[in-house]
Amino acid sequence: MTRFLKLFLPCLLLAVPLLLRAQSQDFEVDYARPREYFVAGVTVEGNTVFSSDQIIQVSGLRKGVKVGVPSDDIADVISRLWAQRYFEDVSIAVDSLTAGRDSAYFKIIVRERPRVSRWDFTGVRTGEKKDLQERLNLRRGGEYSEYIASASSDIIKRFYAEKGFLNAEVTPEVVRDSVVKNAIRVTFKVDRKERVRIKTINFEGADGEISDWKLAKSMKKTKSNKIYNFFSSKKFSEKDYPDDKNSLISAFNEAGYRDARLVKDSIYYVEPGRLGIDLKVDKGRKYYFRNITWTGNSLYATDVLNSVLGIEKGDVYDVVTMEKRLFGGDKQTDYDVTKLYRDNGYLFINVTPVELTIQDDSVDVEIRIAEGKPATLNNIIINGNDLTSEKIVRRQVFTRPGYLYSQTDFERSIREIASLGQFDQEAIADPNKGWSILPNSLNNTVDIVYNVTEKPSSQLELSGGWGARTFVATVGVSFNNFSTRRLFEKGAWRPVPLGDAQNLALRFQTNGTYYTAFTLSFTEPWLFGKKPTSLNLSTYYTRQTNSLLYYGILNNDKQIEIYGFSASLGNRLKWPDNYFILYNGLSWQSYRLRDWYSGYFIFDNGVAHNISYSLSLNRTSTDQNIYPRQGSEFTFNLSLTPPFSLLRKKDFDAEGNVIKRNSWREVNYDRWSASDRYKWIEYHKWKVSGAVYTKLAGDLVLMTRAQFGYLGFYNRNWGYSPFEGFLVGGDGMSGYSTYGSEVVSMRGYMNYSLTPQLASAYNSAGMSWAGNLYDKFTVELRYPVILQPQSTIFVLAFAEGGNCWSDIRNFNPFQIKRSAGIGARIFLPMVGLLGVDWGYGFDDKENGGSQFHFVIGQQF
């Protein structure tokens, strides 16, 4: 604006004779002989939006002030009014003189710019319109000028250039508003043109020392259409291009070329809408480390620091790697010298590598350390928890007032807050807005601020599904931030008390007389409030009959009913590390079968009871729940029932009479009825699973998982349990659910198709599922489309293999059924996880081949 006035003011001074005129007949402006007058009064003409007082105040003309007519004083008044950019025309007139002719009445005559009654856009998408409005910050009722039109057009062009539309054209269109007086409507007509993508990037100067692939990988945002950039955007960004050129030089530095410099870069069109980029680098000489010395280190010995640095004499002079091992990289799990000190409270440590000597191709480096004093945590501040109780967040963090600062504890706190499920996981992990570290070197303290963002965590399920040739309706609600503490608090029921991270879930499924299921569960993650001891309670009821409307069967003389209750306690362990959680639980189930013929179980009639103890050891170190980028998940689970058959010394003869035996080994269960043999279920069940998440590039993640399960017996004469086996194959879900079997997905195959069946003397169908052992291996490549609190969407490609056996003696880990495919997942806070997969099973022509699978509320 200052530059504009400097250019405009001389022109304005020349135009003063045109802008200053006399309105009184007895007064004539003599430009050859300027005269001075006192201001007797000032009026304004032509104003509608701005008041006369506002204009007079800006002009600086005040009663009693002496001004020359004409003079620079008048020019200054006019320039001040012009500078507001609210007027199309400004002039000053001498309206009249006083009787003594030493004072004059002045009139400021303005023509206001038309006000904009509406700003609009054409040629843009709905979401883009909102973003443009935020960037332009144009308000209704504001003024319009060529400057505003030009500046706004440039902003719009830059907006689309960031999206790859480098040739976008913007044309402002102004029309008079027929309704509002002195108002206009402004429409920015946008023609995005074709998106410009990068086709080729050519590197010159590496001379085979560094591969083109490594050089291309170093440029994070500028990518060609090579196959290894399949998941990367090919758009050209003027904003990111300079950073990528610096990253290219860093790739040469990493290879030992400390003097590398970019001598030429060219951007040109190889075809319409496709760019070519040529980058020429003078790599210079290759250098090597010679002597590395440390100064100022008193807390850690030189040998310890050298082991963390990991650089030996004669290694390539890789400045990039040296700095990562001194100051840390982009992974929180990487250990470095700075983190080594900060884990012991030395937040104020300063590490400075200095090149002492450069001789030929060798470099001597001295690493100077100023350790400072340990920093004590002072204030731990939680912001943004509008719904969740502050104590819920505080118990998740490992940084406590009075403790020494620890970088590992701080990073763990971020992870624990993210995994809580009540807050936006992406926001808390963002160093720009998720947290702040505020050190105070004067008193050696540090404040930490955690900025959490609440997100909807409760889920409502209203759905219908198709299973067993019938429609099943489901109604469920899960309050993932429930609070029993606020049950009797006035005003807390909106719709239920929330804020303590407890989970209360209810779910009801039915299709009428054929199928009915009800589940109720409650979880308290911190039972006693001071230690992370979780309490889990659940109860359930399932009823299924032979009443099938599809076949016209409306009676229920055949049915199965299952009642169950379980309770468990979970404790966070300190050894081997505090990522481990140990669960101990007890459960009871009752199976009541009446003329059941489905073939799912070994027998059709009778009542069976299952009382079991379970032990589960879990270790989870993923950075978040929905879309983990790094970390792992490992689970070991053991379920045991009492060995009832080992305590029996009775048997039945051929007529069904009870006879005594000397040992449980002599009991022949072939003569037992199903109601006697399976009245008390017995088994030991082992399950092991592990998953590792590896961040490959950006948000591209590789997930690898292995699973194993075995249902064993205590007594081979009694045999395998009729319940708690595995059903392997398909999507891992159905339109209706039941208890008694564990469903294991295997994409690319039909539901349960990999589960073996064996003959059963107690089953009217003659056969029953006999999945007593399984293994499964999965490799999955994931890439996010949207990572927002309102929704998370990612696509995936997978390859997996697995199989199921009826007996451990037949187990062969290499005899697996293979499949591969693609899929997508969407997580909505109010619904949960939804998804669809297409898989192709390679090793079973009858049950494999092309298969589509739908996912609700689970991950493979």
pLDDT tens by residue, 257-308: 999 999 999 999 999 889 999 999 999 999 999 999 999 999 999 999 999 9
Q: What is the mean pLDDT of residues 532-559?
A: 82
- Residue appearing with tokens 């590789």: 702
List, for residues 203-253, the tens digit of each pLDDT value: 999 988 999 999 998 998 899 888 878 777 888 888 889 999 999 999 999
Task: Give all strands (DSSP E) within 595-674, no chain letters.
Answer: 606-620, 631-640, 650-652, 658-660
pTM assigned to the model: 0.68
CA distances from 161 to 127, 238, 407, 604, 798 (A): 16, 8, 39, 69, 35
Tell me how far apart the alpha carbons of residues 754 and 763 are, in angstroms, rounded to a whole number.
21
The torsion angles phi and psi of 43, rounded to 5 degrees, stand at -125, 165
* Best mean pLDDT range from 469-483, 550-564, 626-640: 626-640
Sheet bearing 362-370, strands edge to edge: 288-295, 362-370, 350-359
Residue 738 has pLDDT above 60, yes or no: no
- pLDDT band at 9; cut points 50, 70, 90: very low
Beta strand pairing call for 66-69 and 35-45? antiparallel
The torsion angles phi and psi of 149, rounded to 5 degrees, stand at -65, -45
Q: By three-state DSSP, how is residue 646 classified?
A: helix
Q: By three-state DSSP, how is residue 14 classified?
A: helix
Q: Give residue 17's pLDDT.
A: 43
Tell me how far apart the alpha carbons of residues 734 and 744 are, in angstroms, rounded to a whole number.
11
Find residue 473's DSSP bridge partners. 464, 510
Lowest mean pLDDT among 63-72, 408-417, 588-597, 736-745: 736-745
* Best mean pLDDT range from 133-142, 179-188, 708-717: 708-717
List, for residues 834-857, the tens digit of each pLDDT value: 889 999 999 988 888 999 988 765
Residue, of 30 and 154, whose pLDDT is higher: 154
Q: Give residue 467's pLDDT.
A: 53
CA distances from 378 to 41, 354, 400, 449 (A): 64, 34, 8, 11
Given its phi and psi angles, is residue 648 left (phi above 0), alpha (psi -120 to 50 degrees) or beta?
Answer: beta
Tell me how far apart the alpha carbons of residues 190 and 124 are, in angstroms, rounded to a whole number.
7
Residue 20 has pLDDT above 80, yes or no: no
Q: What is the mean pLDDT of residues 497-503?
A: 93
Of 91, 112, 110, the residue nearest 29 (C-alpha):
91
DSSP track, 584-607: EEEEEEEEEEES--SSSSS-SSEE
- 403 CB contacts (<8 Å, ≥6 apart)? 376, 377, 409
Q: Give residue 631's pLDDT.
A: 92
Lowest mean pLDDT among 3-17, 371-385, 483-497: 3-17
Q: Give residue 464's pLDDT.
A: 66
Residue 451 has pLDDT above 90, yes or no: yes
- pLDDT band at 442; cut points 50, 70, 90: very high
Residue 29 has pLDDT above 80, yes or no: no
Residue 394 has pLDDT above 70, yes or no: yes
Q: What is the mean pLDDT of residues 183-193?
A: 91
Q: Give residue 857's pLDDT.
A: 59
* Best mean pLDDT range from 19-28, 82-91, 749-758: 749-758
Q: Give residue 91's pLDDT.
A: 87
Asked, as a colleague might, if the bond just before 813 is cis with ω within 30 of 0, I would say: no
Residue 12 has pLDDT above 60, yes or no: no
Lowest mean pLDDT among 611-625, 682-696, 754-768: 754-768
Q: Give residue 148's pLDDT.
A: 87
Q: What is the mean pLDDT of residues 398-424?
A: 92
Tell me how far apart the alpha carbons of residues 504 and 482 are, in angstroms, rounded to a whole number.
6
DSSP track, 378-394: EEEEEE--SSS-HHHHH
Asked, as a colleague might, if the bond just before 34 is cis with ω within 30 of 0, I would say: no
Tell me how far apart the alpha carbons of residues 693 and 617 are, in angstroms, rounded to a whole number.
19
CA distances from 620 to 23, 157, 397, 522, 629 (A): 87, 46, 16, 22, 13
Paired tokens of 569: 């306690």
* Best mean pLDDT range from 27-31, 67-71, 444-448: 444-448
- pLDDT band at 414; cut points 50, 70, 90: very high
- pLDDT band at 726; cut points 50, 70, 90: very high
Q: Give residue 15's pLDDT.
A: 42
Paired tokens of 78: 């006019």
| Alpha carbon of residue 552 to chain centroid | 49
DSSP track, 674-709: HHHHTSB---EEEEEEEEEEEEEETTEEEEEEEEEE
- 854 CB contacts (<8 Å, ≥6 apart)? 731, 733, 835, 836
Cα–Cα–Cα angle for 516, 520, 522, nearest 5°? 165
Sign of the C-alpha dihedral, residues 110, 111, 112, 113? negative
pLDDT, averaged across the chain:
87
Beta strand pairing call for 533-545 and 515-524? antiparallel
Q: Give residue 553's pLDDT.
A: 66
- pLDDT band at 549; cut points 50, 70, 90: low
Q: Which stretches within 707-814 are classed as H helix? A: none
Q: Give residue 62's pLDDT.
A: 84
Cα–Cα–Cα angle for 769, 775, 780, nearest 5°? 120
- Percent over 90 (pLDDT), the chain: 54
Tell me how far apart the alpha carbons of residues 787 and 92 are, in angstroms, rounded to a whole number.
60
- pLDDT band at 24; cut points 50, 70, 90: very low
List, for residues 612-654, the tens digit of each pLDDT value: 999 999 999 998 888 999 999 999 999 999 999 999 999 998 8
Residue 557 has pLDDT above 50, yes or no: yes
Residue 566 has pLDDT above 60, yes or no: yes
Q: Give residue 821's pLDDT.
A: 96
Q: What is the mean pLDDT of residues 183-196?
A: 90
Q: Give residue 739's pLDDT.
A: 59
- pLDDT band at 859; cut points 50, 70, 90: very low
Residue 597 has pLDDT above 60, yes or no: yes
Q: Give residue 511's pLDDT.
A: 79
Burial call 833-859: b when 16+ CB within 10 Å, e when fewer? bbbebebbbebbeebbeebebebeeeb
Other Cβ atoms within 10 Å of 488 Cβ, number: 9
Q: Give residue 860's pLDDT.
A: 39
The torsion angles phi and psi of 323, rounded to 5 degrees, stand at -70, -35
CA distances from 772 to 415, 600, 642, 713, 814 (A): 37, 13, 19, 10, 17
